[in-house]
């Protein structure tokens, strides 16, 4: 049998490992809060090569003021978006404490039994547990003889008994009541026994009424077609004729911000006029705000319905996947889609966003021709209420598309499918206001600067990359 003698480097390495492990367990067992803080520390963000550094696009004489205003707004947004429920909790090993770890919800100002509270400990002469909360009070039943209860109706409840069974009977009847009205917040309860301590979340939430759409019996009660037009009535009329070829009774909503409005007549057509040149996203907001069906189909005013434009197939995908908010098709065979990679970065500098074209995720169950993504082409079917909650920023007047999906990241579940298609009218067609239209359609250089400044402040971004 071979014998190996340890050299000085091996010995030093072994000692380092032992010291690190000892340090880890000391922190873990004695300072769990410090470990949580260490694990949640955000590293400095390094933007990918080729990113636009948005701070470089700010007006030099306003950059410091903008940074200060953005920081204040970010803190207000964080207060709305985060709560105690966002805090990282670590379960200690081999704890005798039993408690709910997920799903405990209470209504504001309403007493609710805390489910599952119990102690599992070996033989003791006496058992003593404590519960602490910060946004509510704790109560339990009137204790039996020989049981001590301190803090009933307060934020700290202490229960002591010689009988484990009696103690657990009281714990099974502990209620929590929030003391401040809030529609969606949370509390953290601390549960202690001897040297053991556990924390569990309490969700304080006002239930909301469901909003349901009567789907009716046919496609006309399922979907409304929406579009935005500006100076392109010739293309709009071609689109409408193609729609009526396949869907004679479906409602079409038109948002129109042309300079000299032309009334579009016809059954099941609603045309809403805006002040001139209000822009792309303002028109989308107006059109979608008037939809009364569960879904709307977005089309551009120069698209063309064909035999492959089967709205029913998109509805089928959405109905089979109730969690979906939007599903896109293809335009002239182009299945445009992208993913959005977002890193929050440091609080002061902001995050980084990377839009990666032709990046998609897993396919939808039962629909191998459909994949999840973060953004799709301008031909999509969407849940009306989901899109209305995100909205389209009316500041973006001329060129905008990805920006809507950026605002909806984390809120909208999006898919792309290649089995439903729409056509596109020829690009070279001349019409009365083509030159005027192109003047608005192709923004000046300062529009790009404006969009970078908007993302810097509104989306709290340090950098952005399109790929």
Residue 360 forms part of a structural domain:
yes
The pLDDT of residue 12 is 46
Segment among 29-38, 41-50, 193-202 with least mean pLDDT: 29-38
CATH number at residue 158: 2.60.40
Overall size of the chain counted in residues? 467
Query: Does 38 have pLDDT greater than 70?
Result: no
Q: What is the mean pLDDT of residues 444-453?
A: 85
Tell me how far CA of residue 287 lies from CA of 224, 269, 310, 403, 417, in angstroms.
10, 12, 22, 18, 24
Per-residue pLDDT tens over the stretch 246-281: 999 999 999 999 999 999 999 999 999 999 999 989
252 in the same domain as 122: no
CATH number at residue 381: 3.90.550.10
Task: State the chain's mean pLDDT as an integer.
Answer: 88
133 in the same domain as 268: no
Per-residue pLDDT tens over the stretch 203-228: 999 999 988 888 888 999 999 999 99
Q: Which of the listed residues 205, 237, 255 is the one where a domain comes to its end?
A: 205
Per-residue pLDDT tens over the stretch 147-166: 999 999 999 999 999 999 99
Per-residue pLDDT tens over the stretch 131-144: 999 999 999 988 87
Residue 83 forms part of a structural domain:
no
Phi, psi of 327 (to 5 degrees): -135, 130
Per-residue pLDDT tens over the stretch 60-83: 888 888 888 888 888 888 777 777
- CA–CA separation, 462 and 126 (whole Å): 58
Residue 3 forms part of a structural domain:
no
Query: Does 372 have pLDDT greater than 90?
Result: yes
- CA–CA separation, 179 and 187 (whole Å): 11
Tokens of 375: 């953004």
Q: Which of the listed residues 153, 171, 205 is the one where a domain comes to its end?
A: 205
The pLDDT of residue 45 is 65
Structural domain boundaries, residue 324: 219-466
Number of domains observed in the structure of the chain? 2
The residue whose two tokens read 């209000």 is 278
Phi, psi of 324 (to 5 degrees): -70, 145
- CA–CA separation, 129 and 134 (whole Å): 17
- How are beta strands 350-357 and 461-466 bridged, if at all? parallel
146 in the same domain as 226: no
224 in the same domain as 193: no
Q: What is the mean pLDDT of residues 327-350?
A: 94
Residue 456 forms part of a structural domain:
yes
Residue 40 forms part of a structural domain:
no
332 in the same domain as 244: yes
- CA–CA separation, 360 and 363 (whole Å): 9
188 in the same domain as 244: no
Query: Does 200 have pLDDT greater than 80?
Result: yes
Q: Which of the listed residues 205, 227, 253 is the one where a domain comes to its end?
A: 205
358 in the same domain as 231: yes
299 in the same domain as 349: yes
Query: Residues 271, 263: contact at Cβ < 8 Å?
Result: yes
439 in the same domain as 326: yes
381 in the same domain as 244: yes
The pLDDT of residue 44 is 59
370 in the same domain as 257: yes
Which pTM value belongs to this model? Answer: 0.82
Residue 153 forms part of a structural domain:
yes
Query: Does 35 have pLDDT greater than 70?
Result: no
- Classify residue 56 by burial, with Cβ atoms within 10 Å: 0-12, 13-18, 19+: exposed
Per-residue pLDDT tens over the stretch 401-434: 999 999 999 999 999 999 999 999 998 788 888 8
Side-chain-side CA neighbours of 88 within 13 Å: the count stands at: 11
Residue 412 forms part of a structural domain:
yes
Query: Residues 199, 191: contact at Cβ < 8 Å?
Result: yes
Residue 292 forms part of a structural domain:
yes
294 in the same domain as 196: no
The pLDDT of residue 456 is 95
Segment among 1-5, 172-176, 297-301, 364-368 with least mean pLDDT: 1-5
């Amino acid at each position: 049998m071979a014998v190996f003698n340890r050299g000085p480097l091996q010995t030093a390495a072994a000692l380092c490992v032992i010291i690190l492990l000892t340090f880890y367990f000391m922190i873990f067992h004695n300072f769990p809060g410090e470990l949580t803080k260490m694990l949640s520390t955000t590293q400095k963000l390094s933007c990918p090569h080729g990113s636009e550094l948005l701070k470089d696009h700010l007006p030099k004489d306003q950059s410091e003021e903008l940074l200060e205003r953005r920081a204040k707004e970010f803190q207000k947004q964080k207060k709305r978006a985060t709560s105690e429920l966002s805090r990282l909790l670590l379960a200690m090993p081999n704890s005798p404490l039993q408690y709910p770890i997920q799903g405990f919800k209470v209504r504001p100002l309403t007493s609710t039994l805390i489910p599952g509270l119990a102690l599992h400990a070996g033989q003791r002469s006496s058992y003593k547990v404590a519960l602490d909360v910060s946004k509510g009070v704790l109560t339990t039943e009137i204790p039996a003889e020989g049981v001590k209860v301190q803090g009933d109706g307060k934020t700290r409840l202490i229960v002591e008994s010689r009988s484990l069974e009696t103690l657990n009977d009281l714990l099974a009847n502990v209620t929590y009541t929030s003391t401040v009205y809030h529609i969606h917040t949370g509390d953290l309860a601390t549960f202690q026994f001897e040297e053991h301590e556990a924390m569990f979340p309490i969700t304080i939430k006002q239930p909301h009424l469901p909003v349901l759409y009567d789907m009716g019996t046919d496609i006309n009660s399922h979907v409304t077609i929406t579009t935005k037009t500006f100076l392109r009535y010739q293309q709009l009329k071609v689109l409408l004729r193609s729609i009526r070829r396949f869907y004679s009774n479906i409602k079409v909503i038109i948002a129109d911000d042309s300079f000299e409005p032309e009334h579009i007549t016809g059954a099941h057509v609603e045309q809403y006029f805006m002040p001139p040149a209000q822009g792309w996203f303002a028109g989308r907001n107006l059109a979608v705000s008037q939809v009364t069906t569960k879904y709307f189909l977005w089309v551009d005013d120069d698209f063309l319905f064909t035999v492959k434009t089967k709205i029913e197939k998109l509805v089928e995908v959405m109905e089979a996947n109730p969690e979906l908010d939007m599903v896109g098709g293809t335009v002239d065979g182009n299945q445009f889609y992208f993913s959005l990679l977002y890193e929050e970065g440091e609080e002061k500098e902001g995050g980084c966003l990377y839009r990666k074209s032709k990046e998609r995720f897993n396919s939808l169950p039962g629909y191998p021709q459909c994949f999840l993504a973060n953004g799709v082409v301008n031909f999509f079917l969407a849940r009306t209420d989901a899109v209305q909650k995100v909205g389209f920023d009316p500041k973006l007047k001329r060129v905008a598309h990805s920006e809507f999906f950026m605002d909806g990241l984390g809120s909208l579940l999006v898919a792309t499918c290649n089995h439903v298609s729409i056509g596109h009218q020829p690009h070279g067609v001349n019409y009365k206001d083509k030159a005027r239209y192109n003047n608005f359609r192709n923004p000046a250089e300062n529009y790009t600067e404006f969009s970078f400044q908007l993302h810097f402040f509104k989306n709290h971004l340090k950098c952005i990359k399109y790929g």
